[in-house]
């Protein structure tokens, strides 16, 4: 039995095929190359051990819309997975289906300053506002270039974690 | 010795103090806010009392509730840890009034040194070098004269500030009047005291501080210096002992100055004298921290002294038991503060539940933390969740061990600054010891690169996970904080590079 | 330096060596049996290869499979750890033949020192004190003469034995003939070599051993002694450095003897010379362990040396880089071997799945383990699951820290000997340093007492658990090994007693 | 609502009553004394935090036939609980309902020696046999005085964990 997926990390893309024979041996093809693979979930928990032709990797993984985040050492690999039958529904506050992006409050806090208004052009990485939380002023940046569509909050407002703050179209 | 000791704090420092109590055979008492009922410091303690709701103002800063808990427990000593009430003279006075020993200096010494202008005066009198500057500025014209004399840029500092707060840089005459006015207003609103003074602004300097401890019997011992130049917005992130910039001769002068200053202030118990050190080996008094520091373990590792045990012993009236001549620094120690923040998203604090944690261990590694699986990292308290401290026979070994340990450290559920520390320890300038207090802000840039060999492993992992889910309905945790797939990431061939003497291959727990 | 290093072992020592590799920037390779697929040492390594089924004979003792794994990985060095193949000269020879550097002494030195009679001869020649005794005994009459001359009791020892195996005590002439015959037969069946010799039996002596390391360039350095007198059936349980019974003068003589002996044997890399030390300060050569010892960390903590890093460096041909004069012992270190066994049931090995683990940390504590939640402690391998090592400025502080750390150590799923260690560290005789190799067996008795204040807490806990189960169906794990409610237990007022300077109150994580 | 249990650890006995009021406050009576009690299970896991009028205890617990083992620090308190509606069934290999006691193999291994035969009188604590496992000879003791009823194994036999070895009546 074999299944095929389209995988992507940043600019890198692979077509992957996963084969498992009767005695549990797993082989994975990335584009044209086959790998002998052994995976073991440790204690049914967060940690997986992966051995790929002698190379030993330890990873953990979490669900994301449209794929997984695979965490190896200090690095987080966001893997988009195409072709999965049972993918978690895409969506969520961060990335709208309509191509907009909404900045949400990463934690509860108080809005100290808002630097943009509706209609402003913003570049990815620009500081949009300052949220005070954990005794610190935290500058929140645009993760997308575009036009400010909505500013949901005003200076001095208390916001809860996850509250929409600014939408960029 | 004390019959029972209460720690008026939370987190790793509370466990640090409770460990010292247990080693001394003193029952230890914890206090906790409603948010901390299940916290490790509560479980470590022999006794524990709730002192109010989650916000610190209503619990860990609530003097009456803490004194009440101490009285209920029958504690005859209180250790304040760091932060919270540790430099609050009113708290030390309240302890004294309740007949409880405050493990720290007297309220009088705390007040004296808490006022920066007073502290400068005392230090000047004790022949401790201070940066050129003024006393209180009453008249703006005085500030202008002083600034001209000292030479721009200058700092306007709040007398009641500290730890980098209440400081403005003034680059020219044009900025002075406005800056002075703003500084006064800010100082008044932040510290309830409008007093400000002018001080020379020193550029490309190192933050070097001397740990000292004094007993009731006239012994003052300086335990060498720590270098805390790796800071972001005045927040220390990495500390080491000894300083790569301090020669034995500078060390001798630093230690003598700190001891003279401590004596002049009538100081008892542990304290830290902070200095700025310029490239010519000149140092200038900055302030005294009248408490145990976050970074005290690096001093402990190179001197062999147990600062917390000694704090408790001298607070109980015991003689320190060693003198300046007994102090030898052996090897090198380095501390990495592990903070729950997202290094790739402007170091925003990261909150959530720790779903998995594995702490480093092994040769040369000391961990100080209160982490456990299931712990909530909340908005209410400081975001430092652990300290990783490494000792090595020399600086290079200490850095290698710290780096190795960082690769072992696994925390799931919140973001941490571990990637920042890894890159810093690989940085050639840092490894040469060539940093200053603005190094992070001006010269260091966190890379957003992913190792190439990890990319294929991640692809294989994702393919297997997808197949497992399709076949057997594999369940995983949902991603934290709805992290957006990082657009800025790019693959980079970091594998098998050797940079700054540390090889990337063998990053392990890869 | 090596391109890649394979560790032919499992468990904590493999992680210890892999950590050294990572600090040196050398990719590390693990091998594993089928039972160890998920083990920590496999996950820590950069590469990992399966070398056979669970039984050690088919995997960790399987020389061809290990050499094959090293060749497949392209490893140019193999570290054997301790146990398994670490003292197997044939393995060292097989490595050499395969063009792989064995991190340890030459097969020739291993063979020479592995034969106790030969080793005695070499040491006698190097002016190392040896216990009165014989060479090989061929003729029983010779044994009778020797025993009469030495004086009963005497030991009959297998020439090929070691680590306490193959030894019989003979108390009188009557026992001699039978003992000699049995010893020969046992030696033949156990070691494939019937050679035996007679040695003086020394009573109430200490086990003291000297760590040494030698490079290829003629430098031999002795790193001071360790005291391993706390043993049960020749199994070391607690080791410390320095020995409480060794004066600077004895230390100098011990170190000089060890260095002379190592030179005489043509020894390269790290080794340990074991001695018996009597109450008059006389010491007698016992044997040389031609490998890294379990207890090497206590030496590392007091000398600041990284023995594993140095082993790898000298195996690669580098000069050691320090001399005898550079070695300074600072403070005191003590190691507790944490073993999966039931101290209350005749120290029977305890097997099972680790369902929860929390390891100690904090000031002065170094942990070496490969523990994780979900780990299987199986019958196939050694039952030591962790090493807890504490450093203190003096012996008292090291003991207090070790005791404190033991109270923090929580392992569920198997029994451990933690209660034994706690009681030992509280024992007045141990705290005075007044022990010998038969102390545990002859003078120490593990108490089966429960602290009274814990009894009421346990009653309250059980009442609450019962109510939770009745109300809400609380689920708990089933008891391990169907432990019978211990009939021998009795309540005892251990609370608030101070014994041996350690107060029971404040036992914490109570 | 209140429930009552009969508790026993070794020779020590208590009658316990557990009261919980609407806002979750728990009080426990041991014989004649009431205690204010706070219990928290940490992360739904193995560890519980118990605060009894200021005294802080951390414990873990496992099921045993007829009660719990409460583990506090290095100490295991075997608590027999009477009056629980949902007690785990008593029984198991170790303690027979008929008053016999059977020694079972604590681990897989090889029988090196058997020191007793059917009909022998043995004292509690006497060494009955030697089992080799984990490279060690392990002496197995009688946990009950009585008469050897059955010897289930012979010298040299390989036994699996849990296998019955010797029954004492």
3 state SS for chain D: CEEEEEEEECCEEEEEEEEECCCCCEEEEECCEEEEEEEEEHHHCCEEEEEECCEEEEEEEEEECCEEEEEECCEEEEEEEECCCCCCCCCCCCECCCCCEEEECCCCEEEEEECCCCCCEECCCCEEEEEEECCEEEEEECCCCEEEEEECCCCCCEECCCCEEEEEC
Better pLDDT: A57 or A155: A57
Mean per-residue pLDDT over chain C, rounded: 91
Nearest partner of C449 among C300, C343, C376, C298, judged by Cα: C343
Give yes or no for D163 touching C (CB within 8 A): no
| Eight-class DSSP state of C133 | B
Nearest beta carbon to residue B45 from set D42, D43, D56: D56
The share of chain C scoring above pLDDT 90, in percent, equals 79
- B65: Cα separation from own chain's centroid: 26
What is the least distance, in Å, from the CA of C15 to any CA of chain D?
A: 21
Q: What tokens were used for D68?
A: 């719990």
- Name the helix (H) or strand (E) containing B211: strand B206-214
Structure confidence by residue, pLDDT tens digits, B145-172: 999 999 999 999 988 877 667 788 999 9
CA B370/CA C131 separation, integer angstroms: 52
CB of A20 closer than 8 Å to CB of C18: no
CA C11/CA C67 separation, integer angstroms: 19
CB of C230 closer than 8 Å to CB of C296: no
Q: What is the pLDDT along chain B (510 residues), one digit of tens a residue?
A: 999 999 999 999 999 999 999 999 999 999 999 999 999 999 999 999 999 999 999 999 999 999 999 999 999 999 999 999 999 999 999 999 999 999 999 999 999 999 999 999 999 999 999 999 988 888 888 989 999 999 999 999 988 877 667 788 999 999 998 888 888 888 888 888 888 899 999 989 999 999 999 999 999 999 999 999 999 988 999 999 999 999 999 999 999 999 999 999 999 999 999 999 999 999 999 999 999 999 999 999 999 999 999 999 999 999 999 999 999 999 999 999 999 999 888 888 999 999 999 999 999 999 999 999 999 999 999 999 999 999 999 999 999 999 999 999 999 999 999 999 999 999 999 999 999 999 999 999 998 888 888 999 999 999 999 998 888 777 787 664 433 333 333 333 333 333 333 443 334 444
Which residue shows structure tokens 């529904």? A89
CA C311/CA C269 separation, integer angstroms: 6
Per DSSP (E only), the strands in C171-219 are 196-200, 206-214
- Parallel, antiparallel or unpaired: strands A75-82 and A101-104: unpaired
Q: Alpha-carbon dihedral of residues B311, B317, B321, B327, nearest 10 degrees? A: 30
Better pLDDT: C493 or A87: A87
Nearest partner of B427 among B462, B402, B457, B452, judged by Cα: B402
Per-residue confidence band for A135, with pLDDT thresholds at 50, 70 and 90: low
Are A56 and C374 a contacting pair at CB < 8 A?
A: no
Give yes or no for D45 touching B (CB within 8 A): yes
Which residue shows structure tokens 């600086």? B395
Mutation target for D interface from C466, C469, C504: give the one with most D CBs within 10 A.
C466
Confidence check: pLDDT of C279 > 70: yes
Are D55 and B47 a contacting pair at CB < 8 A?
A: yes
What is the least distance, in Å, from the CA of C373 to any CA of chain A?
A: 7
Q: What tokens were used for C425?
A: 């560290």
CB of C189 closer than 8 Å to CB of C180: no
Are A54 and C372 a contacting pair at CB < 8 A?
A: no
* Cα atoms found within 13 Å of the Cα of residue C268, Cβ hemisphere only: 20
Are A79 and B459 a contacting pair at CB < 8 A?
A: yes
pLDDT at C479: 61
What is the least distance, in Å, from the CA of B218 to any CA of chain C?
A: 23
Nearest beta carbon to residue B361 from set C45, C306, C359: C359
Which residue shows structure tokens 């101290």? C343
Q: What tokens were used for D151?
A: 């010897």
CA B193/CA C391 separation, integer angstroms: 47
Q: Please provide the distance, in angstroms rounded to a whole number, between the alpha carbons at the two ends of chain B.
A: 49
Nearest partner of C400 among C493, C332, C497, judged by Cα: C332
CB of C136 closer than 8 Å to CB of C184: no
Of the residues C120, C226, C291, C366, only one is catalytic, namely C291
Per-residue confidence band for C494, with pLDDT thresholds at 50, 70 and 90: very low
Enumerate the residues of chain B whose CB falls inside 8 A of the CB of residue A58: 509-510
Are B400 and C23 a contacting pair at CB < 8 A?
A: yes
Mutation target for C interface from A54, A59, A60: give the one with most C CBs within 10 A.
A54
Confidence check: pLDDT of C435 > 60: yes
Nearest beta carbon to residue B460 from set A37, A56, A138: A37
CA B339/CA D168 separation, integer angstroms: 60
Angle at C261 between CA C259 and CA C263, to 5 degrees: 70
Per-residue confidence band for D1, with pLDDT thresholds at 50, 70 and 90: low
Cis peptide before B143 (omega within 30 of 0): no
Confidence check: pLDDT of C208 > 80: yes
Contact residues, C window 403-462, toward B, CB-based 8 Å cutoff: 403-404, 407-408
CA A64/CA A80 separation, integer angstroms: 9
| Eight-class DSSP state of A108 | S
pLDDT at B494: 32
Cis peptide before B242 (omega within 30 of 0): yes
CA D131/CA D156 separation, integer angstroms: 9
Other C-beta atoms closer than 10 Å to the C-beta of A164 total: 16
pLDDT at A1: 56
Q: What tokens were used for B251?
A: 């060390």
Give yes or no for D23 touching B (CB within 8 A): no
What is the least distance, in Å, from the CA of C284 to any CA of chain B?
A: 32
CA distances from B306 to B56, B292, B299, B320, C403 (A): 29, 12, 9, 11, 16
CB of C351 closer than 8 Å to CB of C377: yes
Better pLDDT: B86 or A138: B86
Are D18 and C463 a contacting pair at CB < 8 A?
A: yes
Structure confidence by residue, pLDDT tens digits, D27-58: 999 999 999 999 999 987 889 999 999 999 99
CA B89/CA D101 separation, integer angstroms: 67
Beta-bridge mates of residue B335: B239, B389
Nearest partner of D53 among C453, C191, B313, B426, judged by Cα: C453
Enumerate the residues of chain D whose CB falls inside 8 A of the CB of residue B30: 56
Better pLDDT: C337 or D93: C337
Per-residue confidence band for C432, with pLDDT thresholds at 50, 70 and 90: very high
Give yes or no for B300 touching C (CB within 8 A): yes
Nearest partner of B494 among B422, B401, B396, B410, judged by Cα: B422
Structure confidence by residue, pLDDT tens digits, D52-109: 999 999 999 988 888 999 999 988 999 999 988 865 543 333 444 466 778 888 777 8
CA distances from B470 to A3, A29, B146, C219 (A): 9, 17, 74, 62
Are D56 and B374 a contacting pair at CB < 8 A?
A: no
What is the least distance, in Å, from the CA of B216 to any CA of chain A?
A: 36
CA C435/CA C239 separation, integer angstroms: 12
- Parallel, antiparallel or unpaired: strands C154-162 and A101-104: unpaired
CA B460/CA C150 separation, integer angstroms: 70
CA D102/CA D125 separation, integer angstroms: 14
Which residue shows structure tokens 């003024």? B134
Q: What is the CA radius of gyration of chain B?
A: 24
SS3 for B428? Answer: helix
Give yes or no for D21 touching C (CB within 8 A): no
Enumerate the residues of chain C whose CB falls inside 8 A of the CB of residue D61: 461-462, 465, 476
Nearest beta carbon to residue C44 from set B330, B363, B508: B508
Are C464 and D37 a contacting pair at CB < 8 A?
A: yes
pLDDT at A87: 56
Q: What is the mean pLDDT of residues C333-337?
A: 98
Enumerate the residues of chain B whose CB falls inside 8 A of the CB of residue C369: 361
Phi and psi at residue A123, to the nearest 5°: -95, 150
Lowest mean pLDDT across B321-325, C221-225, C345-349, D105-109: D105-109
- Parallel, antiparallel or unpaired: strands C490-492 and C449-451: parallel
Enumerate the residues of chain C whose CB falls inside 8 A of the CB of residue B396: none
Per-residue confidence band for C163, with pLDDT thresholds at 50, 70 and 90: low
Task: List residues of B with catalytic annotation.
Answer: 291
CB of C358 closer than 8 Å to CB of C410: yes
Is C291 annotated as catalytic?
yes
Nearest partner of C335 among C305, C371, C355, C364, judged by Cα: C364
| Eight-class DSSP state of A143 | S
What is the least distance, in Å, from the CA of B76 to any CA of chain D?
A: 16
b/e per residue C463-493 (b: at least 16 CB within 10 A)? bbbbbbbbeeebebeebbbbbbbbeebebee
Structure confidence by residue, pLDDT tens digits, A115-134: 888 888 888 777 888 887 76
- Name the helix (H) or strand (E) containing C356: strand C356-358
| Eight-class DSSP state of B49 | E
Phi and psi at residue B124, to the nearest 5°: -60, -45
pLDDT at A108: 76
Beta-bridge mates of residue C225: C210
CA C377/CA C414 separation, integer angstroms: 8
pLDDT at D90: 37
Neighbours of chain B (3+ CB pairs under 8 A): A, C, D
Confidence check: pLDDT of C164 > 60: yes
Are D42 and B374 a contacting pair at CB < 8 A?
A: yes
**Which residues have C-beta within 8 Å of that of residue C472, sequence separation ≥ 6?**
none
Is the predicted ipTM greater than 0.95, yes or no?
Answer: no
Are C42 and A49 a contacting pair at CB < 8 A?
A: yes
CB of C312 closer than 8 Å to CB of C26: yes
Lowest mean pLDDT across B506-510, C58-62, C262-266, D150-154: B506-510
Are A54 and C73 a contacting pair at CB < 8 A?
A: yes
Mutation target for B interface from A29, A74, A100: give the one with most B CBs within 10 A.
A74
Are D43 and B374 a contacting pair at CB < 8 A?
A: yes
Q: Is the pTM of this model over 0.90?
A: no
Other C-beta atoms closer than 10 Å to the C-beta of A31 total: 10
Enumerate the residues of chain B whose CB falls inside 8 A of the CB of residue A75: 419, 450-451, 454
SS3 for B478? Answer: strand
**Shortest CA distance from B37: residue in chain D:** D40
């Amino acid at each position: 039995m074999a299944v095929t997926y389209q995988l992507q990390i940043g600019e890198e893309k692979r077509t992957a095929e996963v084969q498992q024979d009767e005695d549990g041996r797993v082989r994975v093809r990335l584009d044209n190359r086959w790998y002998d693979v052994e995976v073991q979930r440790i204690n049914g928990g967060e940690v997986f051990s992966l051995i790929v032709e002698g190379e030993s990797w330890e990873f953990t993984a979490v669900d994301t819309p449209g794929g997984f985040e695979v965490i190896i050492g200090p690095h987080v690999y966001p893997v988009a997975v195409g072709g999965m039958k049972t993918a978690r529904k895409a969506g969520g506050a961060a990335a709208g289906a309509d191509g907009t992006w909404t900045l949400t409050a990463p934690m509860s806090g108080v809005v100290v300053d808002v630097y943009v208004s509706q209609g402003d052009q913003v570049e990815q990485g620009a500081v949009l506002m300052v949220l005070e939380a954990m005794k610190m002023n935290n500058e929140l940046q645009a993760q997308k270039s575009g036009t400010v569509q909505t500013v949901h909050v005003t200076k001095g407002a208390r916001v809860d974690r996850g509250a929409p703050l600014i939408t960029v179209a | 010795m004390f019959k029972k000791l209460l720690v008026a704090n939370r987190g790793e420092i509370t466990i640090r103090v409770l460990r010292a109590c247990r080693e001394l055979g003193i029952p230890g008492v914890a206090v906790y806010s409603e948010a901390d009922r299940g916290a490790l410091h509560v479980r470590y303690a022999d006794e524990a009392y709730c002192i109010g709701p989650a916000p610190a103002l209503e619990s860990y800063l609530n003097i009456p509730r803490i004194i009440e808990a101490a009285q209920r427990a029958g504690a005859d000593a209180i250790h304040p840890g760091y932060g919270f009430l540790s430099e609050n003279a009113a708290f030390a006075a309240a302890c004294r009034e309740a007949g409880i020993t405050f493990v720290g200096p007297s309220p009088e010494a705390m007040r004296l040194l808490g006022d920066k202008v007073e502290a400068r005066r005392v230090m000047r009198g004790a022949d401790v070098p201070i940066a050129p500057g003024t006393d209180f500025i009453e008249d703006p014209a005085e500030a202008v004269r002083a600034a001209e004399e000292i030479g721009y840029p200058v700092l306007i500092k709040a007398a009641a500030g500290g730890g980098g707060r209440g400081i403005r840089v003034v680059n020219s005459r044009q900025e002075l009047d406005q800056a002075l006015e703003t500084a006064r207003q800010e100082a008044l609103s932040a510290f309830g005291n409008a007093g400000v003074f002018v001080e020379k602004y020193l550029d490309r300097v190192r933050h070097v501080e001397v740990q000292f401890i004094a007993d009731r019997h006239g012994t003052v011992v300086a335990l060498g210096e720590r270098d805390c130049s790796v800071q972001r917005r005045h927040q220390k992130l990495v500390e080491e002992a000894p300083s790569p910039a301090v020669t034995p001769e500078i060390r001798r002068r630093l230690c003598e100055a700190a001891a003279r200053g401590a004596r002049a202030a009538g100081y008892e118990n542990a304290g830290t004298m902070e200095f700025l050190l310029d490239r010519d080996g000149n140092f200038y008094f900055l302030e005294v921290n009248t408490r145990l520091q976050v970074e005290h373990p690096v001093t402990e590792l190179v001197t062999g002294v147990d600062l917390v045990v000694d704090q408790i012993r001298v607070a109980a009236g015991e003689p320190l038991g060693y003198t300046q001549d007994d102090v030898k620094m052996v090897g090198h120690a380095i501390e990495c503060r592990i903070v729950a923040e997202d290094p790739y998203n402007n170091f925003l604090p990261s909150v959530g539940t720790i779903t998995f944690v594995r702490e480093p261990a092994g040769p040369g590694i000391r961990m100080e933390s209160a982490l456990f699986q299931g712990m909530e990292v909340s908005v209410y308290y400081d975001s430092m969740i652990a300290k990783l401290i490494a000792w090595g026979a020399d600086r290079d070994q200490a850095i290698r061990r710290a780096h190795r340990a960082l690769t072992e450290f696994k925390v799931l559920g919140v973001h941490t600054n571990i990637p920042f520390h890894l890159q810093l320890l690989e940085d050639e300038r840092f490894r040469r010891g060539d940093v200053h207090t603005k190094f992070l802000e001006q010269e260091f840039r966190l890379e957003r690169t992913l190792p190439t060999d990890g990319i294929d492993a991640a692809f294989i992992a994702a393919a297997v996970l997808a197949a497992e889910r399709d076949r057997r309905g594999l369940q995983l945790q949902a991603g934290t904080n709805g992290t957006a797939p990082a657009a800025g990431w790019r693959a980079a061939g970091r594998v098998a590079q050797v940079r700054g003497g540390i090889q990337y291959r063998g990053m392990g727990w890869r």
